Homo-oligomer: A and B are copies of this chain.
Amino acid sequence: MSVTETLIPDYSLPDCNRRVLLTERPEAIPQAGHFAIDEVVPESVPDKHIRVRNVYLSVDPAQRGWAADMNNYSPPVPLGTVMRALGVGVVVESRHPDIAVGDCVYGWLGWQDYAVVSPDQLLYHIGKPRAPLSCYGGILGMNGVTAYLGLTKLGAPKAGETVLVSTAAGAVGSVVGQVARNAGCRTVGLTGSDQKLALCRERFGYDVAINYKSGDLAGRLAAALPEGCNVYFDNVGGTILDTALRNMAVAGRVIQCGTASIASWDPPPTGLRNEREVLTRRLSWQGFVVFDHMADYGLAVEALEKSLLAGELYYEEDIDQGIECAPGAIQALYAGENLGKKLIFIG
């Protein structure tokens, strides 16, 4: 999409708040039936807090983990409460000196019409948007920042190196591929449909794009990586990861950012043993969770904004309309039905 002027609607104070509640604990990928929508009278705004009219609700793979009752890097969402979600919105009421009514914000707004939050629940105080508002929920939001910081801090790609990306057309992966290409790297993308393959080649600028569902991944990956892979940004885990590890160059870096190909961790899945690859190739295999790197969040948004406004970053969005789309959105995401960042417009 191209960058166009942003129009912020003029929102009034609410008389009711629609909320998407987690009502049942999913065993694997959350389905529509695990949620319910209710309507409540909006809560009041305490001191040092703001009321936000949500405009874009975010749908993210990590929500699977937040909904599950398993040891994870975030505590599970309590049953009967608003589903944890990121969102972009406009401040309609402020009892905080640093945030004005009309400012745009991005953060933990939840799947609901209105959120009452304190600044520590915000990831980024947008103020007046310099790019389309939806971008701050995608390429300039957690997805873009994850891509940028994961790649640059853990992958540290050098010009001329080869960077491999799984879910290459996804909300995170497509940014990884483009940031790597803009840094002078050769980029190889793995994706799961011919439509996304075309996007990878024509829009996201990958030097090679591979549909991993078309068979002989090992052979095609080896052919695409004749000198091995220097940086692998992995969002999927599983057998794709195993194959990638066996094509890493010596001193290669593997960034574990997601495990989307594994439908369930209970019972624990098995696969090829990978410690010999780590040893003989002297890999550095690191887990990346963006919340460990919040001190660098603003710098990452600024770098991405600059590239975006210079026309060096292309992005896709898949925007559903209406809060009633939220309950089924995570299952649709895992089914790979979306092209680009999945958001729900409720403004």
Contact = CB atoms under 8 A, between A and B. Distances in A.
B282 A284 contact: no
A274 interface: yes
B282 A285 contact: no
Nearest to A285: B285
Contact of A273 (B271, B278, B283, B288): B271
Given A234-B275, A241-B275, A275-B241, A73 B256 contact: no
Interface in A61-113: 71-73
Interface string A276-315: 1011111111111100100000000000000000000000
A250 B284 CA distance: 16
B275 A282 contact: no
Contacts of A259: 275-276, 279
A187 to B, nearest CB: 22
Given A234-B275, A238-B273, A275-B256, A287 B292 contact: no
Q: Which of A72, A257, A274 has the most CB of B within 10 A?
A: A274
Contacts of A285: 278, 283-286
A268 B258 contact: no
Contacts of A256: 275, 278-279
A269 interface: yes
Given A270-B270, A270-B271, A271-B270, A280 B276 contact: no
